[in-house]
Amino acid sequence: MCQDHSVFAQSYPLPINVIRGALKLESESQMWGESMETPHTNAFILSFLLLNLAFGRVAGADTYSRDDFPVDFIFGSGTSAYQVEGAVNTEGRSSSIWDTFTHAGYMQGENGDVACDGYHKYKEDVRLMVETGLEAYRFSISWSRLLPNGRGPVNPKGLQYYNNLINHLVSNGIQPHVTLHNYDLPQVLEDQYGGWLSRDIIRDFTYYADVCFREFGDRVLYWTTVNEPNVFGIGGYDQGVSPPQRCSPPFCAIKSNKGNSTYEPYLAVHHILLAHSSVVKLYRRKYRNKQHGFVGTTVFLYAVSPQTNTEKDRAATERARDFLVGWVMEPLLYGDYPISMKTNAGVRIPAFTPRESEQLKGSFDFIGVNYYTHVNITDNSDSLKNQLRDYSADRAAMILGMDLFSNKEFPITPWIMLEELNKFKLLYGNPPIFIHENGQRTPSNSSLQDVSRVKYLHGHIGGVLDALRDGINIKGYFVWSFLDLFELLDGYKSSYGLYYVDREDPELKRYPKLSAKWYSRFLKNRSSSIVGSVELEKDPSLVSIGHLFE
């Protein structure tokens, strides 16, 4: 669990001149395009400042309303294509690497072939969004549905589906936020040249983005290129636990005979960053002046804390942050990888040319953040003695308290999220950010009375309000997820949804959970955010499926 803050307070009293100096450093790098030239030199000041900021905060803002947030702050919820659409063999869609992964048996027979059938039920889902009061909806486009060959001709049925969905959202006053890639690269490109392991992907991803900007950009203002490339690189190319399930022994978490964990995670993310910057360059040159939109990427973020109050664990914590977040953020800000990554990975991490470095710098209008929980970090420098190393060994830090394959609930600790967001602000120049994913995991079919999810959302939205008051440049918040989806690591065994999907019903009927009712009341500003203000016990729509939760 999280280290007791009082230990740090007693060990490290913070002089006021250090606070002022740190705040001065921060104020001089407020704009996302400006950054401190030597971010690592401020780590010492950073740790003291943020511990001081945390004192006195026991939880997120306790009582608040929608009106407490800026008028242009956006609240929404999200899904992704493979997790919600289904219809995988329908109307011209080709397979993606996610289809291949699930049908190879890694998900114990579960897959997204049907998922929530969002492909056919999008009108019903948009109606539920309107009833909930969503201001925005974050979803992804299936590259293989729009361009079945990965490039070349557009599939007219896929184009029609996304046009219909976007039009339906806009006509109902819901702002579309679109992600271009969410773990579902067309399998044809993986087969032809290795997908993200080849520089050819930069050309094809830019072509795909160009099609999306051209066809949908008159109605879509917010574009995310790749969802959490850091986790995609680790899961897909080091451990093999997610598409395209590449890894090499002894680093695999699965049985695999393809891949090389020693360098492929670095190579894949390298090409993702280059493809991202190419797409941003395209948008700014060809579309921004007439469409006035914004392009960014999304990173997965843990709140990381040292397991013990030792210099080794504190250094390991900073190294873990470099390897998880700096891996993406420092190239986008400074045009190069963190020093710790280059030092420990050596020639196994690719180098940017001067031209690539310049193109990367400032190649975002916003950063999306996917945040769920916190972990503790302890030093593992002994791993650097191994000649054969992967990403995890190069990190030389062990992550404690992380159980990716569990359906256990996350602890409700919004003050820890606030600390990490303050660190993000100070290290990376306070860029505009969207909380793209945040939500509570529960076992599937546990209860429509998802009190723990309400408490989690109540606390973390309050934490976001605290973050805004701290000057963190947050532009919006999206609950993960709108419906109970096919989840990346455990299929249908866990759920995050505001709405339950009855998979025993051929129509896949949706039912509101307590969290949907609570979020709706908050968004419509009808009440305070006190958990007990919403009840579902007497909701007549629940009678017919009550047997599922007995």
Task: Indicate which residues carry an active-site annotation.
Answer: 228, 437
| Spatial distance between the Cα atoms of 527 and 533, rounded to a whole number of angstroms | 8
State the Rg of the chain over Cα.
22
Chain centre to alpha carbon of residue 459: 19
115: amino acid identity, one letter:
A
Q: Please say whether the beta carbons of 373 and 411 come within 8 A.
A: yes
CB-based contact 208:147 (threshold 8 Å): yes
**Within 13 A of 396's CA, how many CA atoms are on the CB side?**
20
DSSP 457-511: HHHHHHHHHHHHHTT--EEEEEEE-SB---BTTTBTSEE--SEEE-TTSTT--EE
Query: Are the C-beta atoms of residues 325 and 301 closer than 8 Å to each other?
Result: yes
Distance of CA 322 to the CA centre of its chain: 17
Q: How is residue 293 annotated by DSSP? A: -
Quote the tokens at residue 349: 């991490």
Q: Could you identify the residue written with the tokens 């969207």? A: 434
- Cis, bond preceding 350 (omega within 30 deg of 0): no
Contact at 8 Å (CB) between 517 and 414?
no
Element holding 25 (H helix, E strand): helix 16-27
Two structure tokens written together for 93: 């869609």
Contact (CB, 8 A) for 254 and 309: no
Q: Own/partner pairs for 502-506, CB < 8 Å, 24+ apart?
A: 502/545, 502/548, 504/548
Structure tokens at 41: 């030199």
Q: Tell me which DSSP letter residue 186 carries.
A: B
Give whole-number Cα distances, 61 to 71, 74, 523, in Å.
18, 18, 16
Phi/psi of residue 462, nearest 5 degrees: -60, -40
Contact criterion met (CB below 8 Å) for 346 and 393: no
DSSP state of 348: G
Pairing of strands 222-227, 175-181: parallel
Q: Tokens for 363?
A: 């190649």
What is the distance between the alpha carbons of residues 373 and 404, in angstroms, rounded to a whole number?
11
Pair 449, 514: CB distance under 8 Å: yes
Q: What angle do CA 110, 149, 278 make, to 5 degrees?
A: 100
